[in-house]
Amino acid sequence: MIAKRTGRLVVLAAGPAAVFLTLGLSSPALAAEGGKAYQIDLAQLNDSGSRGTAMLSIKGNQLTVQIQSEGMVPGQPSAQHLHGSTKGHDFQCPDASDDTNRDGVLSNTEATVDYGDINISLTTSGDTKAASGLAVDRMPVADKQGKLSYKRTITVAQDVVDHIKDLHIVQHGIDRNHNGTYDVEGAGKSELDPKLPQEATAPTNCGMVMGASVGSLPVGGVETGGGAPESATVPAGAALAVSAAAAGVVFLARRRIAAAGGRTETKGAAA
């Protein structure tokens, strides 16, 4: 029975790892160093067409945020934040039904009902306080292809470490009228700051820590084929704490795959 369960874990782990390889995010081989890593898939809001993958890696009180997204507005800065609560409130990513005034644009204010207030502003430099949420001069800019890459390590408070799985990444900035820039013709002024177009502050994507709501499977950094993060969590401590026997089975199962070209493991994986 253990073999069956192991098979599933191996299958589950293949997806996220593949995504990371595709997007080129470096995997933080944190397992051996006592850290944790959490993957986030960013899904579009406002029919923006943007998508991406992110990873939150924690070691002590150092949080490294990596984001790779595409389908962003080319050449424009994207305000981006960790939204949510570290006090136990369960926020989540919104959907189109949160456009409560039915104007066709999901504004930040409307979406906040679901994804919560800004907890950390993911700026490129300077402070990361919530108050810097609209510091667009310190936000990453998408390239001509609409791709955005971000990586920064910041020191966070213990409540963030403890509740990292309760936070979500949100990137902002849409191009409603498809003219390649943020302007008021697209969707009027922002409800947050009338000096900014709504297009600059409306959310373009959102992502929650994968598996956070269902309890993460501590697959652990055991022979993960390059150390890419498994499903949601790669808790090093847990990897060691999870029965060494189970970890051994994962290891052995994978060796068996390698040895038998997958044939031996097929039965377990399909069960």
170 lies in the site for Cu ion, by CB under 5 A: yes
Residue 78: name the closest of 144, 145, 148, 126 by CA.
148
Instruction: Considering the complex, state which of residue 170 and residue 209 has its C-beta at the smaller distance from Cu ion.
Output: 170
- Site track 227-256 with Cu ion (rule: CB under 5 A), x = hit: ------------------------------
- Site track 30-69 with Cu ion (rule: CB under 5 A), x = hit: ----------------------------------------
- Give the phi and the psi of residue 151 in degrees, each rounded to 5: -150, 130
Given the rule CB under 5 A, which of 81-89, 137-145, 207-215, 217-225 is the region that contacts Cu ion? 81-89
Given the rule CB under 5 A, which of 53-61, 76-84, 99-107, 184-192 is the region that contacts Cu ion? 76-84
Tracing tokens 């009902």 back to the chain, one arrives at 113
81 lies in the site for Cu ion, by CB under 5 A: yes
Given the rule CB under 5 A, which of 21-29, 78-86, 89-97, 179-187 is the region that contacts Cu ion? 78-86
Tracing tokens 């979406």 back to the chain, one arrives at 111
Total residues interacting with Cu ion, rule: CB under 5 A = 2
State the angle between helix axes of 263-270 and 2-23 in degrees (0 to 180), rounded to the nearest 10: 100
178 Cβ partners below 8 Å, 6+ apart? none
Residue nearest to Cu ion (CB): 81
Instruction: Considering the complex, state which of residue 113 and residue 259 has its C-beta at the smaller distance from Cu ion.
Output: 113
- Site track 115-154 with Cu ion (rule: CB under 5 A), x = hit: ----------------------------------------
168 lies in the site for Cu ion, by CB under 5 A: no
Given the rule CB under 5 A, which of 10-18, 64-72, 80-88, 255-263 is the region that contacts Cu ion? 80-88
Residues found near Cu ion in the complex (CB under 5 A):
81, 170
